[in-house]
Amino acid sequence: MTVCTGNICRSPMSAVVLRDRFAAAGLADDVVIDSTGISGEEHGNPMDRRAVGVLRDNGYHDPAIRLHQARQVRAADLVTHDLVLAMTSAHAGALRRLAGADASLAGRVRLYREFDPAAPVLGPGDPEHVLDIDDPWYGDRSAFVACLAQVEAAADAVVAHVVAELHAR
């Protein structure tokens, strides 16, 4: 599950990209990709039209693009998803608070850009925010193009991680 603020830009964009990559890896029927937001303010809204345009212009035609309805993450989502990919450190913090004292659930929360091979590698004490994917909602089309590039840069490593986890079971 990918998680951003309102579930109308970053998290649904990353879900579309990940579904495409898992399908290409022959795992479309084995891995369920979902997206949510930490806020409920956009509940029920479609994906941002600028996100839709950038995805389509870059060859993504997942039916979920037009069917998407934003929803807020719930504690139960942490139980039903093995990997929870936060777009920012603030999202990760909110998800870890939602997990409460359950270290197993909190351990499922990772920053999406941790999987980008070109992103900085965090050491002990390094601030997580250096791996944040900026919110394109406040920008123009170029902000959505930049967001998609960051999402795509990490997608193959996310797939490789999940494949390794599946083989380890």
147 a catalytic residue: no
Spatial distance between the Cα atoms of 116 and 168, rounded to a whole number of angstroms: 22
Which residues have CB under 8 Å from 128's CB, separation 6+?
A: 89, 92, 111, 122
Concerning whether 10 is annotated as a catalytic residue, the answer is yes
The one catalytic residue among 82, 102, 134, 135? 135
Whether residue 48 lies in the annotated active site: no
Which member of 4, 62, 77, 96 is catalytic? 4
- Which is catalytic among the residues 10, 50, 96, 108? 10
Which residues carry out catalysis?
Answer: 4, 10, 135
